[in-house]
Amino acid sequence: MAEKLNGTVIVTYRCNARCNMCNRYKAPSDPSEEISVETIRKLPPMYFTNITGGEPFIRQDLPEIVRELRKKSDRIVISTNGFFTDRILALCKEFPDIGIRISIEGLEKTNNAIRGLPDGFRRGYTTLKKLVKMGMRDVGFGMTVQDANAKDLVPLYELSNRLGMEFATASLHNSFYFVEAKNVIHDRPMVAKQFERLVNRLLDSRSPKKWFRAYFNHGLINYIYGQPRLLPCDMSFDTFFIDPYGDVMPCNGTKDKEVMGNLNRQTWDELWNSPEAEQVRRKVRHCDRQCWMIGSVSPAMHKYIRIPALWVLKHKLKFWTKQKYSMYENKICRDYRDGKVTKEELDRCSTCDFSQTINDGLSDVSREKLKVRTGEEIVDADIAAQTGKTEE
């Protein structure tokens, strides 16, 4: 039997948050076109599936989707903003072995300013606590670090630790998926310093899983300085994304949507072995975007385990001799500190491009709807219709 894959299913582009680093809420998909259970049935066996959006719980048929995916995936993790508490709790009652990651961008004030969700922190945090109380084991925070919330990174990690939760990090990326090309870290040393503190906290723990997370966060320092990835990117070889239209893509980090095939119209084997898929794989081999998101790094960490394992070993040994991890182990951090490279040069290494026209990856039908109403109006009306007002 073919090797199991790592898949991400973007069930919708509708989102009720208003994050400052992602414009997807302005470009929602039309529900009539969103991926159906029939299409999901055609997906291959997977060892891991991430369900994401938009906000996946906007879809009222999410339980049906999870039921179908559960049959073909060993592990499922859903990324959500935590707003639809009742829906999340109901799903977790049915599937106590799934994982839930709630995006929280910092402590209360910072989170609410960044995510633009009314009462977002309290809602997300309350949902997480209820999940822990009902015995869910795989729950946690997901935080995208930027200048505005970097100082909350370690306090949020400590909060998640006290509650016995997972803590997933990311930093700013630009792509069609985020409908964004202007994201960039401005004060790199300040942000890197916070990652350095987190790396040391993680290395100091007794959990091997956290030591490998330390490596991932070390990679984020490398990423925000615009340096080549620490591990090869093999997206589209053993990993895929599928969008709400059934288009199968290598990842969510490309500038424009790269399509390997369409699962509404093709079988999995047809599209996965198609010339279009091969063409995308050739592009991935030459991709220079250097993303460092867990979706592309986690499979690489498993595949090239020797590299992170050696890093962990080296740093655990250092720890035992009371030497902590330093961001200045990264040459680029030293070069910037020593004035050998300028901020402008580092900015040019990033994917930030103020002149870029963004392709949001929407279908013609979804785009047509945006001619009469904004994405926010469409989604607000949608949620109001679903809940009778707004969900409490």
- How far is CA 270 from each of CA 248, 260, 275, rounded to the nearest angstrom? 12, 10, 10
Q: Give the range of 80-88, 250-258, 310-318, 354-362 binding ligand SF4 by CB under 6 A.
A: 250-258
Interface size with ligand SF4, residues (CB under 6 A): 12
- Tell me whether residue 103 or residue 296 sits nearer to ligand SF4 (CB atom): 296
Residue 62 or 220 with smaller CB distance to ligand SF4 = 220
Both tokens assigned to 174: 């630009």
Interface residue with ligand SF4 among 253, 299, 308, 361 (CB under 6 A) is: 253
Report the alpha-carbon distance of residue 51 to residue 72 in Å, rounded: 13
Please state whether beta strands 261-262 and 139-145 pair in parallel, antiparallel, or not at all (unpaired): unpaired
Q: How far is the CB of 168 from ligand SF4 (least distance, A)?
A: 16
- Binding to ligand SF4 (CB under 6 A): which residues in 260-299? 284, 287, 289-291, 296
User: Shortest distance, CB of residue 222 to ligand SF4, whole angstroms?
Assistant: 13
Which residue, 253 or 308, has its beta carbon nearer to ligand SF4?
A: 253
Question: Which is nearer to ligand SF4, 170 or 291 (by Cβ)?
Answer: 291
Contacts of 343 (CB under 8 A, 6+ apart): 188, 336
83-142: contacts with ligand SF4 (CB under 6 A): none
In the DSSP assignment, the letter for residue 217 is: H
* Residue 236 C-beta: closest distance to ligand SF4, Å: 7
Give min distance, CB of 280 to ligand SF4, in A.
9
Cα 308 → chain centroid = 20
Is the CB of 165 or the CB of 284 nearer to ligand SF4? 284
Decide if residue 8 touches ligand SF4 (CB under 6 A): no
> Directed axis angle between helix 208-224 and helix 306-320, to 10°?
100
Of 176 and 211, nearer to ligand SF4 (C-beta) is 176
Q: How far apart are CA 160 and CA 125, in angstroms?
A: 10
Sheet holding 166-171, edge to edge: 166-171, 139-145, 99-103, 76-80, 46-52, 5-10, 239-242, 247-249, 261-262
Assess 233 for contact with ligand SF4 (CB under 6 A): yes
What is the distance between the alpha carbons of residues 352 and 184, in angstroms, rounded to a whole number?
Answer: 6
| Binding-site ranges for ligand SF4 (CB under 6 A) | 233, 235, 250-251, 253-254, 284, 287, 289-291, 296
